[in-house]
Amino acid sequence: MATRRKDRLADQIRDEVSRILLFEMNDPRMGFVTVTGVDLTGDLKLAKIKISVMGDEKDQTVTMNVIKHARGYVQKELGLRVRSKFLPTISFELDDSVKRSIQLSKTLRDVMEDTHGDK
């Protein structure tokens, strides 16, 4: 039961943070972001929000700095939207899994081309 509650809260936090970042943050320095997941601690006191940012490393760094600077605003808005007895303290983390999967796909494609190109 606790796992279901934790998953439900994580999904709700992910959805609301996505809405806040996409529709309410009007900072032109912020690039295109996607909230890829939320890791909640077992006691539901801390939530690590994973963010994927399109663009090069400079764009990612600037966007993450903007988001981290707005953490208090996002936390406040989240508190107004999420119905929970206690709201976890949020933090943001860059999720590079999309970047790694693209690099892996490219590597596999290169290996396949080398293998089939030698014949």
**pLDDT tens-digit series, residues 60-82:** 999 999 999 999 999 999 999 99
Residue 44, pLDDT > 70, answer yes
CB proximity list for 35: less than 8 A, separation 6 or greater: 14, 17, 18, 21, 49, 50, 51, 52
pLDDT of residue 1: 47
2-117 architecture in CATH? 2-Layer Sandwich (3.30)
d(C-alpha 53, C-alpha 33), whole Å:
5
By the 8 A CB rule, do 40 and 89 touch? no
pLDDT band at 118 (very low <50, low <70, confident <90, very high): low
Q: Is the pTM of this model over 0.85?
A: no
d(C-alpha 81, C-alpha 95), whole Å:
24
